[in-house]
Amino acid sequence: MNLLVYCGSKSGTDGRYTEAALQLAEALVARDIGLVFGGGAVGLMGDVAKAMLSHGGRVIGIIPTFLRTEEVALETCTELIEVPSMHARKLLMMEHSHAILAIPGGFGTMDELFEAVTWRQIGLHNKPIGLWNVAGYYDHLSSMVDRMLDDGFMGATTHAMLRIDDALLPMLDYLEANASDVAPDPLLPRWT
């Protein structure tokens, strides 16, 4: 199984974010889960990937050509795939994975996470999606998502498509138990 991890291209100001990245890497290697990520050597994305590699884990990095310098591509990845655009990166990352986890990050991480949730919402893929609420970082986002449900902007089924958890191991159990092989097909005419 491969897990797609969305995370910051920065490490954040609280050391618990980096600690979490290292804990995630160790747990994935222990469970023989491969990592799929954005291919950069910087921030939490670099922390997870480098720790995976140092423990003998499998790492697939997918990076657009124009970011290869800015995010300093992690050339030591088990497999480093260069793509022409952000859209190609996001699609290929999903195609290579069976489950999705976001950890702390900024707008890029949010864009990727909500694309994954909205694509699942309209049936383009069936992968389980988790948000690891490290050190309460996503407390406000979690409240916002509950508000979306309470105020009628989504139903319970959609709300349940994003699992938010403070603890890593139950989250990984959930992602493993629901791992899916179905690759996204953005051209699928779901509306007809």
- Residues 6+ positions from 162 with CB-CB distance below 8 Å: 113, 117, 129, 130, 131, 145
User: Contact region for ligand AMP (CB under 6 A) — 19-27, 100-108, 144-152, 161-169?
Assistant: 100-108
Whether the Cβ atoms of residue 119 and residue 188 lie closer than 8 Å to each other: no
The smaller minimum CB distance to ligand AMP, of residues 9 and 133, is found at: 9
The smaller minimum CB distance to ligand AMP, of residues 44 and 99, is found at: 44
- For 181, other C-beta atoms within 10 Å of its C-beta total 10
In whole angstroms, the minimum distance from the beta carbon of 36 to ligand AMP comes to: 12
Residue 141 burial class via C-beta count within 10 angstroms: exposed 0-12, middle 13-18, buried 19 and up: middle
What whole-number distance in Å separates Cα of residue 121 and Cα of residue 67? 29
> With binding defined as CB under 6 A, does residue 68 bind ligand AMP?
no
- Name residue 54's amino acid: S
Q: Compute CA 97 distance to the chain's CA centroid, rounded to the nearest angstrom.
A: 10
How many residues of this chain interact with ligand AMP, rule: CB under 6 A? Answer: 16
Question: Which residue in 34, 57, 108, 130 binds ligand AMP (CB under 6 A)?
Answer: 108
> With binding defined as CB under 6 A, does residue 111 bind ligand AMP?
yes
Judged by DSSP in three states, 50 sits in helix
In whole angstroms, the minimum distance from the beta carbon of 66 to ligand AMP comes to: 10
User: Contact region for ligand AMP (CB under 6 A) — 37-45, 50-58, 127-135, 160-168?
Assistant: 37-45
Question: Which residue in 2, 9, 97, 133 binds ligand AMP (CB under 6 A)?
Answer: 9
Positions in the binding site for ligand AMP (CB under 6 A): 8-10, 38, 40, 45, 67, 71, 86, 105-109, 111-112
